[in-house]
Structure 1
């Protein structure tokens, strides 16, 4: 009887780069992929370049990702999860729905500005056939659900317009998404602003929320 063939061990780091030493290789690959996108572009990202950056064999990334598109999907899923975490962390049970929409909005915009590569990836055209990745679609809906829940609370409390909650949430999100995208692309850096950027961002958060209020007010 022939001896059983042992499973392949986790790829070992290359002795030339030595960037990956211990721990979860998949996490290291995802982190390095975001760095490569920041350093070059998502178009120039490849699994081979990723392997070189982490310091593993060229075949190692294929143990975790079928192809580049699968890698981008995994980054996007992680990004949506992070967005849920940073926004929900700012919600205060003792505050009103309008106040919490603003809390959520501030955290959302700050995350987008601090993580432009991730933000552009999740909403841009780089990922192909998104509908073929139900986990990604669910992650995106979970992120949007944070705002949806707040809008539903505001409708019930009488703070927000008595209208379709999804339409109200989409109107609010679209306004903040537009601001985030312009900020990431450097639009405001090229403009002569009437106020400093922090004040501009706060105004955007407040006005996005006021658009769906029954009796608009600054909170």
Structure 2
């Protein structure tokens, strides 16, 4: 693959997310999977992450007691959905990273994938990075969140040509995550509608500036 600079795909119109299959697997004996899939489907049409086990059971076509056999309470369901969201985000970022072997563009493209994920999944994004997950100590959720950060460290390390354990990599990765996350939140809150319609261009400028700062440090 050539290392010449290429135009990135538009942010929203060309999502890198693979199609999700929400087929009901209950009849195949996997009710837990069906409940998670239906939960993700419901979140796609909502602005906030509010789902009850009773509602979810009704949507899948099972009793509430059946749902409680797989999730002891609503928090357990929210954890499962947040973990699933982390896995989808990591998959989206892996897809764009594999499409270009240039480390700097990989860094920029994975940042765009992060913002794109937030725009397409506002309720799930809110659940993954909101107060609920910040105060939750689920080992599974912590492991999923840690993996997102580890992946970022690897991408940043390659982009700025430093070892992953170098303190500068950790600082730079933290800055990059803060930037894309803050940008995502501002976009979801409608703050950029008054400033610019060119979100793609804004993201490009942010990452070019980040790389410029990294090269000077």
TM class by shorter chain equals 0.7 to 0.9
- Asked if the contact 1:176/1:208 (under 8 Å) is kept, the reply is no
Structure 1 equivalent of residue 149 of structure 2? 144
Runs of 5+ unmatched residues, structure 2: 1-23
Pairs within 5 Å for 1:56-75: 56-75=62-81
Mapped partners of 1:40, 1:116: distance in 2: 6
Q: Is the aligned partner of 1:97 residue 2:99? A: no
1:134 to 132, 139, 152: 139
TM score, norm. by length of structure 2: 0.76
Query: Superposition RMSD on alpha carbons, in Å?
Result: 2.8
How far residue 201 of structure 1 moved from its aligned partner, in angstroms, is 3.3
Q: Is the aligned partner of 1:106 residue 2:112? A: yes
Structure 1 equivalent of residue 20 of structure 2? none
Runs of 5+ unmatched residues, structure 1: 1-18
Once superposed, which parts of structure 1, at least 4 consecutive aligned residues long, lie more than 4 Å away? none
Mapped partners of 2:34, 2:216: distance in 1: 49
Structure 1 equivalent of residue 175 of structure 2? 171
Deviations 1:75-134 (A, max 9, x none): 111111111111112124973422211121121211121111111111001347422x11
Structure 2 equivalent of residue 117 of structure 1? 123
> Which has more radius of gyration?
1
Mapped partners of 2:91, 2:149: distance in 1: 12
Structure 2 equivalent of residue 214 of structure 1? 215
Mapped partners of 1:154, 1:31: distance in 2: 35
- Asked if the contact 2:92/2:113 (under 8 Å) is kept, the reply is yes
Deviations 1:37-69 (A, max 9, x none): 4447434x2111111122111111112111100
Distance change in 2, residues 1:59/1:88 (3 Å)? same
How far residue 163 of structure 1 moved from its aligned partner, in angstroms, is 4.2
Higher relative contact order (CA 8 A, sep 6+): 2
Partner-residue secondary structure (3-state), 2:174 = helix
Higher helix share: 2
